[in-house]
Amino acid sequence: ENRPLWGGRFGSTPAEAFERINASIPFDVRLAPFDIEGSIAHATMLGECGIVSGEEADRLVRGLREVLREVEAGEFGWTLSDEDVHTAVERRLGEHVGAVAAKLHTGRSRNDQVALDLHLFCRDAAGRISAALVEAMDALVEVAEANRTVVLPGYTHLQRAQPLLLAHHLLAHFETLRRDLRRFEAAREAANRSPLGAAALGGTPHPVDPARTAELLGMEPLVNSLDAVSERDFALDLLYACAVLGVHLSRLGEEWVLWTSAEFGFATLADAFSSGSSIMPQKKNPDAYELFRGKAGRLTGNLTSLLVTLKGLPPGYSKDLQEDKEPVFDSVDAVLAMLAVFPEMLRSATFHPEPMREGAGGFALATELADFLAKRGVPFREAHHAVGRLVRRCEELGVELEDLLESELAGAHPELSEFPKDLLTPEGSVANKRSLGSTSPESVERQLAAARAFLDTR
């Protein structure tokens, strides 16, 4: 007969439908390595504190290492009657080491145990995502460095606005990801606290040493036992970081969907990072970048999911908290999948400087004329009007600003007779920028150097 851990006070075994809704083992088996890591620390502490004998602690730790080996080899089996990963690991430990396995849970509850497992998972995930983010940032810098002189139109309202250096544009994404990195580092910090010692909710009469267990795990110890088993802020922090990153990657993805369209023609993805159509032989689609857009939805949903799960929960463990894991797993998987594909997809793409440069000329240079007048003491509003009239005139004639004769420029405003025509090129325009953080080549070189220096610290 298969009795649950808590079967002592029950007259019958669980109904099958109850067992199914109650069990978390189908998804929390993923926590097994973390559960075992926590149990090894707990067993070690129990031995050091004399709560179990040194010999018993050794047997527990050796048995747990054997279970870990099985987990890593994919040999670890579970059944629904195990209910959750904690029970499954303890059952398997018993099969290896016998009766002493029953002592492992002394001074501990599944409530502090599951909270610890999720802390360990989130700490590990935040670390892995941070490392992957650094890779993505490195790819952005590398591609920026390789395309120092390429110009493209910058947009506002998705209308051509002013020329930018492509490197400047790519470095904008670098800054975005730098902030994301900070969020993941903070999420890792938040996860780095051990709830062990809280037991069910109020602590334990056993002479445990939670600070020692935390130390063994490289963590800070709990402060308040009730808070330690009730809070999932660290998981929210990670889900928030994932959601914000997801939104950023969706914006970047949308940009590449536009850039690789025939209408823009700014870039082509490598075949290895594109897919085709089952019916239209000519198609080459930017699916991965579309999925960057698409995954922002579930990442946002996962954050919302846990926020709503936690809303209104009284302090202390409630089974609602079992719903915390799947959104976290899903967000971590989605983010890691995107960051795994991004660096090489970016490095292997081809840019098309000619259409980019073309879009960066023409009326995208109009601000240069107005700024020139303003530098000459013409009030900016007046300068703006004069150049606006000039643009309208060009549209009527069907010509570009650079096609206008000096006499026509002077007609719009006398000061324009001295306008240096080389400013009416995308390169002239970007080189003319002076302000901090601008798209001028000097500014972009400074940004590149700072970005490299930052990456060297990681």
**Tokens, residue 260:** 């690789």
384 catalytically annotated: no
277 catalytically annotated: yes
Give yes or no for a contact between 303 and 356, defined as CB atoms under 8 angstroms apart: no
Report the amino acid identity of residue 263: E
Give yes or no for a contact between 246 and 220, defined as CB atoms under 8 angstroms apart: no
**Tokens, residue 319:** 């089974």
CB of 347 vs ligand ARG, minimal distance in Å:
41
How far is Cα 262 from Cα 271, in angstroms, rounded to an integer? 16
Region for residue 209 given its phi and psi (left: phi exceeds 0; alpha: psi -120 to 50; beta: otherwise): beta
How far is Cα 409 from Cα 404, in angstroms, rounded to an integer? 7
Give the x-and-dash track for 272-311 against ligand ARG (CB under 6 A): ----------------------------------------
CB of 22 vs ligand ARG, minimal distance in Å:
8
List helix spans (H) across 217-286: 225-230, 233-259
Cα dihedral sign, 404-406-408-409: positive
User: For residue 166, what are the CA distances in angstroms to 147, 260, 369, 438?
Assistant: 7, 15, 23, 12
Q: Closer to ligand ARG at the Cβ: 275 or 322?
A: 322
**Tokens, residue 377:** 């003491």
CB of 94 vs ligand ARG, minimal distance in Å:
18
Choice among 12, 157, 407, 435 that is catalytic: 157
**Tokens, residue 145:** 């460095």
Three-state SS for 267?
strand
Q: Which stretch binds ligand ARG (CB under 6 A): 71-79, 165-173, 315-323, 417-425?
A: 315-323
Strand partners, 162: 154
Give the x-and-dash track for 24-43 against ligand ARG (CB under 6 A): x---x---------------
**Tokens, residue 323:** 């719903």
121 touching ligand ARG, by CB under 6 A: no
How far is Cα 363 from Cα 412, in angstroms, rounded to an integer? 16
CB of 325 vs ligand ARG, minimal distance in Å:
6
Q: How many CB atoms lie within 10 A of CB 117?
A: 27
CB of 28 vs ligand ARG, minimal distance in Å:
6
**CB half-sphere exposure, 7, CA atoms < 13 A:** 13
Q: Which stretch binds ligand ARG (CB under 6 A): 66-74, 132-140, 202-210, 314-322?
A: 314-322
CB of 298 vs ligand ARG, minimal distance in Å:
21
Q: Which stretch binds ligand ARG (CB under 6 A): 67-75, 88-96, 109-117, 236-244?
A: 109-117
Binders in 123-182 for ligand ARG, by CB under 6 A: none
Residues in the interface with ligand ARG (CB under 6 A) total 9
Among 321, 366, 378, 387, binds ligand ARG (CB under 6 A): 321
Give the x-and-dash track for 428-457 against ligand ARG (CB under 6 A): ------------------------------
Among 78, 317, 342, 372, binds ligand ARG (CB under 6 A): 317
Region for residue 353 given its phi and psi (left: phi exceeds 0; alpha: psi -120 to 50; beta: otherwise): alpha
Q: Closer to ligand ARG at the Cβ: 109 or 130?
A: 109
CB of 200 vs ligand ARG, minimal distance in Å:
7
Choice among 53, 277, 318, 417 that is catalytic: 277
Strands 151-156 and 159-165: antiparallel
Q: Closer to ligand ARG at the Cβ: 264 or 317?
A: 317
CB of 4 vs ligand ARG, minimal distance in Å:
10
How far is Cα 252 from Cα 233, in angstroms, rounded to an integer? 28
Among 322, 367, 432, 438, binds ligand ARG (CB under 6 A): 322
Angle at alpha carbon of residue 410, lines to 406 and 412, rounded to 5°: 120
Among 37, 56, 84, 237, binds ligand ARG (CB under 6 A): 84
Among 111, 147, 194, 225, binds ligand ARG (CB under 6 A): 111
What residues are labeled active site?
157, 277
Give the interface with ligand ARG as residue ranges (CB under 6 A). 24, 28, 84, 110-111, 114, 317, 321-322
